[in-house]
Structure formats: structure tokens, C-alpha cells
Amino acid sequence: MTNKLNNFHDIAKSLNTHIAKHSPEVFFNMSQEQAKHFYSFYTFNALIIKEDDRTYTATLKEIPLKVTATTQYLSAKKLSVSLLELTMDYSINLKSNNYLKENIGLAPYIANALFHTGNESKLDFESLFALINFKLETDKTPKRENSDTYIPQNDFEHIYNYLLVEKDDLKTAQTLLRTASLTKKQIHMVLEFLLQRVQVL
């Protein structure tokens, strides 16, 4: 059931509540033992724009702190869940006009949170935006010159069902999202897999 937020203050308060769960400041209220199990190393600035009387747009800007890739990966999984819950619970407008685009708007956060880049100073939350937005423009994007990175259309169902569903292979989901041969429908399938997977982390 979707919660209805009546004004800017409610939106800001709900955002701050979610963001605080993943902010280093909460360490001051934790015991040393609790802190060992809290793997978040990001703070966020929230820019909230009132679009109209019922619609708000929330933009989160990450402020990375230097941590190891391992702890960063664990904190990112928690962060991706928080972003997903925030969007689902409060229907924050992502400047999208349909279900597919709303999920695609979440994809960079979810995908990059699940698959850390290996850069120890930050996660690149923007890396998939351009690719995914480009895929929205057409039903089929052109074949890449490098055949090793190209997944033929007629092989997609087999790859999806076997590697993603049976093997639960998140790395394959990342590869599929970055492959230039996917249609809108196929992108949607991969994103649904990511959304389902992140909910159980």
C-alpha cells in the first residue's frame, strides 16, 4: 500500500529517516559491536523539488568515503535496498511516465550497488544511465563490433532462464544490461530479476 505524503516537510522527513540509516552519524548511537555489523560508508545530500501539489522529485547526491571494496559492496547492498524501499513506499517521482521507465530509473542504483566497480574510493552510480536511457529510444540497439560482447537475440531466452534464474548469476545480469543487443522487453526482464533479487538481500 502506497503511503501518501502531503507536503514538502513530510517528504523531507521520510527521506532523512531512510538516509540516516545509511549515514556514518548513526555510529555515534551504536555500541562498538553494533558498529562492526553496520556496513554503510556513504552520506547523502537530498535535493527535493516540488513539481506540483502532489508530485516531488528527489535527487540523491552521494558523498563517498574511502573504504575497501569488500565493505563497500556490503554497504551498497543495504543502500540499494533502502533506495528501492524509499521509491516503492513513497512513490517519489523519478520523472518517468510508465512502469518500465520507473524501474529503469532505479537500475543504475541497484545494478551498481550489487556489482561494485572495484574502485575503492567510490561506486559509480552514473555508469549505466547513458546506456539504459539510450536503449529506451529504440526497440533494438545496434550490434557491437566486438562479437564477444554480443548476445544474439535468439539466445537471450536460454541465457536468461539458465544463467539468471537457475544459477542466480548476478554477474550475468550485469553483462546483459551492458550488452547492446537487448530490446526493451529483455531489459525489463533483467531489471525485474534485479528488483526481485535485491529485495531478498
Domain coordinates of the chain in residue numbers? 8-199
Looking at residue 48, what is its pLDDT? 40
Q: Is the dihedral of CA 32, 34, 37, 38 positive or negative?
A: negative
Beta bridge partners of residue 45, listed in sequence order: 61
The more confidently predicted of residues 125 and 201 is 201
Q: Which of 99, 19, 3, 107 is nearest to 56 (CA)?
A: 3
Looking at residue 187, what is its pLDDT? 58
Model confidence at 185: pLDDT above 50: yes
The more confidently predicted of residues 176 and 53 is 176
Looking at residue 148, what is its pLDDT? 40
The stretch 42-51 carries a mean pLDDT of 39
Confidence of residue 170 (pLDDT cuts 50, 70, 90): low
Contacts of 197 (CB under 8 A, 6+ apart): 114, 168, 170, 173
Model confidence at 184: pLDDT above 50: yes
The stretch 172-185 carries a mean pLDDT of 54
The stretch 61-69 carries a mean pLDDT of 39
Confidence of residue 96 (pLDDT cuts 50, 70, 90): very low
